[in-house]
Amino acid sequence: SSVARRGRGILVVFEGCDRSGKSTQCRMLVDYLKSIGRDVAHLRFPDRTTAIGQSINDYLQGTTELEDHAIHLLFSANRWESVPRIKQLLDNGTFVVVDRYAFSGVAFTAAKGYDVTWCKNPDRGLPDPDLIFYLDISTKDAQTRGSYGEERYEKAEFQERVAEIYEQLKSNDWKVVDAMKDKNEIHEEIRNTLLELEEQFSKTPLKRLWT
Ligand code: 2DT
Ligand code: MG
Average pLDDT of the segment spanning 27-46: 98
Closest CA to 189 of 7, 14, 72, 54: 14
Question: Which residues, listed in sequence order, are joined to residue 118 by a DSSP beta bridge?
Answer: none
Atom of ligand 1 nearest to the CA of 149: 2
Which ligand gives the minimal distance to the CA of 66? 1
* ipTM passes above 0.95: yes
Choose the residue to mutate in 108, 109, 162 for probing ligand 1, maximizing ligand atoms within 8 Å of C-beta. Answer: 108
Give the side-chain half-sphere CA count within 13 A for 114: 18
Beta-carbon-side half-sphere exposure of residue 77 (alpha carbons within 13 Å): 13
Structure confidence by residue, pLDDT tens digits, 186-209: 999 999 999 999 999 999 999 999
Report yes or no: 135 and 179 within 8 Å, Cβ to Cβ.
yes
Please tell me whether the peptide bond between 46 and the residue prior to it is cis, using omega within 30 degrees of 0.
yes
Say how far apart CA 58 and CA 54 lie, in whole Å: 6
pLDDT above 90 coverage of the chain, percent: 91
With a CB cutoff of 8 Å and minimum separation 6, the contacts of 56 are: 46, 48, 71, 74, 75, 78
Q: Which atom of ligand 1 is nearest to the CA of 105?
A: 12
89 Cβ contact list (under 8 Å, min separation 6) = 9, 41, 96
pTM for the complete prediction? Answer: 0.96
Cα dihedral 209, 46, 40, 123, rounded to 10, equals 10
Mean pLDDT of 18-23: 95
> Ligand 1 centroid to 185 CA: how many Å?
26
Closest Cα to atom 8 of ligand 1: 105
Mean pLDDT of the chain: 95
The DSSP 8-state label assigned to residue 65 in this structure reads -
Can you tell me the distance from the alpha carbon of 144 to that of 137, in angstroms, rounded to the nearest whole number? 11
Give yes or no for a contact between 5 and 93, defined as CB atoms under 8 angstroms apart: yes
